Structure 1
Amino acid sequence: MIIDTHHHYWNYDPVEYDWIDDDMTRIRRSFLPADLKETLKGTGVEGVVTVQARQSLEETDWLLELAAENEFMRGIVGWLPLAAEDIGAILDQYSQNKNLKSLRHVVQGEKDPNFILGKEFNRGISLLKNYDLAYDILIFEHQLVNTITFVDQHPDQQFVLDHIAKPRIKANELEPWAKYLWELAERENVSCKISGMVTEADFNNWTEEQLKPYFDVVIKAFGPERLLFGSDWPVCLVATEYSDWLNLVKKQLAQFSEEEQKMIFHKNAEKVYQL
């Protein structure tokens, strides 16, 4: 069994999704549960965790509605205003919906380099463990140093690193990403999604050989106990087909025993997101 822990849906709107630029014309359309269900045929993927693509309560409400309507959606990673003064009351309300498994903020898009260390934001993060909610970390590699400091403030919080912290694959640069990823991986309350790699490379010219050093670092740093599979569909489609990405990950994980592969492909997801 396989659980895909990272994908998105959207009703395409050029203003709301202005990050979909001219190099990504293939995904300038709507992507909904029916589209993903069709994509998953024959892949062995039986369950999914859907991740927010907009930072609004409207988005979180919409994803929770979709999860209630689609059995293959095992849970969602939503967005809530973690820095808000009344975040406690908001968490009281939203945590009643058992399809909400984790929260995420698009830290990679924040202009303030110290956003992740902000007092109000961290006050919100400190409450999540009381509601059995994980937190998905979305950053670029240059934000890893502050992220390590951030994680150390919350030793009892379950974190999931998205897209292996977006290293500079297109430039074929391993450092300082590898150094700081290893350091972050020393924190046992952090798991990592194998996802989003092809879109950090050149969409049209990436190779398996180019990605291998990044796979090697992540696999060794986190080990089979703290890795999860994610597709980043439909974003991945600008660089690869869903099944091709899944097969590439399977190939990289062939070094592990059958039980270890089960951990990465579904057991870790069930544990981290309490599916």
Structure 2
Amino acid sequence: MSVHIDSHQHYWRYNNEEFPWITDDIKVIKRDFHANDLKPLLKNHGMYGSIAIQARLTEDENDYLLKMSDECPDVIRGVVGWVDLTKSDVKTSLEKWSKHPKFVGVRHIVQDEPDDNYLLREDFLHGISLLKQFNLTYDILIFHRHLKVAIEFVKKFPDQAFVLDHIAKPDIKNHVMEPWATDIKKLSEYKNLYCKISGMVTEANKDEPYESFVPYLDVIFNSFGVDRIMFGSDWPVCTINMDYSGVHSMIQRYISKYTKEEQDKILGLNAIKFYNIKI
């Protein structure tokens, strides 16, 4: 079955207050992005749809993305939203949002937290412990320096579905492999953890050659195998350094050595299984 799903992109109505990280240096994404903007790109690349990922730390983000998913059901197949997992009444919020059939998971922008051990906070761990009962996944968004903490974090929840975003953002720009590669191998030993081959182009130099990405992809594929890897474009953030076609073509080129069945897993079936998307 060839059903391809892009597992990672974002939408927003741009304003400086809510998106201060979108500076003039990356002004190409300093505007509004809607699912209708992505629709022709998905169609041109044979994609069945996508997973919309939160970009703001507010539950208003959930309303915004879920409303868009209702308006554009052929684009947004699932929404990974945001809930404050540290609050005492987090269960109430999880119960509320999980009732929407498109709300499939939760993410927190851990990479921006000043505490590098944020994943191990007791209140945060309590919130994570509640996700499984609502059949919700969790996207891990960290920098490579957080990997050792992530190993301890994932170890605590053997039955929780986790996915690592953007291969933990290694320093591709400077071609640094260690300790990222060693830590990735250790983290991948936890079989409830998947990995998105996404976000790599924004960790590299603009116009970085294909060959620069291959060693990082090799580590991911050797560690996770084809059953726990999912393609994600990270559109529109990827357009800072590469357009949608470039990102898609890079991954297609790398996985061309695999069988069609294996390619279908990477390009969609793994995401469908992980996020429990109804086809």
Shorter-chain TM-score bucket reads over 0.9
Match of 2:166 among 163, 167, 171: 163
Once the two structures are TM-superposed, the CA of residue 44 in structure 1 deviates from its matched residue by 0.6
Once the two structures are TM-superposed, the CA of residue 23 in structure 1 deviates from its matched residue by 2.1
Match of 2:239 among 222, 237, 240: 237
In the alignment, structure 2 segments of 5+ residues that lack a partner are none
Find the counterpart in structure 1 of residue 102 from structure 2: 99
Once the two structures are TM-superposed, the CA of residue 92 in structure 1 deviates from its matched residue by 1.4
Find the counterpart in structure 2 of residue 129 from structure 1: 132
2:183 is the counterpart of 1:176 = no
The CA deviation string for residues 192-239 of structure 1, in whole angstroms up to 9 with x for no partner, is 00100010011x241111111111111111110000010000000011
Find the counterpart in structure 2 of residue 53 from structure 1: 55
CA distance in 2, matches of 1:40, 1:90: 32
Once the two structures are TM-superposed, the CA of residue 83 in structure 1 deviates from its matched residue by 0.6
The CA deviation string for residues 229-263 of structure 1, in whole angstroms up to 9 with x for no partner, is 10000000011110111011011011111111111
RMSD over aligned CA atoms reads 0.9
CA distance in 1, matches of 2:162, 2:17: 31
Normalising by structure 2, report the TM-score. Answer: 0.96
Find the counterpart in structure 2 of residue 75 from structure 1: 78
For residue 196 of structure 2, give the secondary structure of its aligned residue in structure 1: strand
2:123 is the counterpart of 1:110 = no
2:241 is the counterpart of 1:248 = no
Q: Between Structure 1 and Structure 2, how many residues are aligned?
A: 274
Find the counterpart in structure 1 of residue 93 from structure 2: 90
Once the two structures are TM-superposed, the CA of residue 128 in structure 1 deviates from its matched residue by 0.4
For residue 104 of structure 2, give the secondary structure of its aligned residue in structure 1: strand
CA distance in 2, matches of 1:69, 1:9: 14
Once the two structures are TM-superposed, the CA of residue 69 in structure 1 deviates from its matched residue by 1.5
CA distance in 1, matches of 2:184, 2:23: 29
Find the counterpart in structure 2 of residue 274 from structure 1: 276
CA distance in 1, matches of 2:148, 2:159: 19
CA distance in 2, matches of 1:223, 1:32: 33
Q: Residue 215 of structure 2 aligns to which amino acid in structure 1?
A: P
The CA deviation string for residues 166-200 of structure 1, in whole angstroms up to 9 with x for no partner, is 00111110000000001000000000001000100
Q: Residue 245 of structure 2 aligns to which amino acid in structure 1?
A: S
Mean Cα deviation higher: 252-261 or 39-48: 39-48
CA distance in 2, matches of 1:39, 1:252: 20
Once the two structures are TM-superposed, the CA of residue 41 in structure 1 deviates from its matched residue by 3.3
Find the counterpart in structure 1 of residue 8 from structure 2: 6
Once the two structures are TM-superposed, the CA of residue 40 in structure 1 deviates from its matched residue by 2.4
Q: Residue 42 of structure 1 aligns to which amino acid in structure 2?
A: N
Q: Percent identity?
A: 45
Once the two structures are TM-superposed, the CA of residue 38 in structure 1 deviates from its matched residue by 2.7
For residue 68 of structure 2, give the secondary structure of its aligned residue in structure 1: helix
Find the counterpart in structure 2 of residue 43 from structure 1: 45
CA distance in 1, matches of 2:37, 2:136: 28
Find the counterpart in structure 2 of residue 144 from structure 1: 147
For residue 181 of structure 1, give the secondary structure of its aligned residue in structure 2: helix
CA distance in 1, matches of 2:77, 2:40: 17
The CA deviation string for residues 104-156 of structure 1, in whole angstroms up to 9 with x for no partner, is 00000000111110000000000100011000000000000000000011110
For residue 225 of structure 1, give the secondary structure of its aligned residue in structure 2: helix
Mapped contact 2:207–2:242 kept (Cα < 8 A): no
Normalising by structure 1, report the TM-score. Answer: 0.98
Once the two structures are TM-superposed, the CA of residue 268 in structure 1 deviates from its matched residue by 0.6
CA distance in 2, matches of 1:47, 1:58: 23
Mean Cα deviation higher: 183-192 or 63-72: 63-72
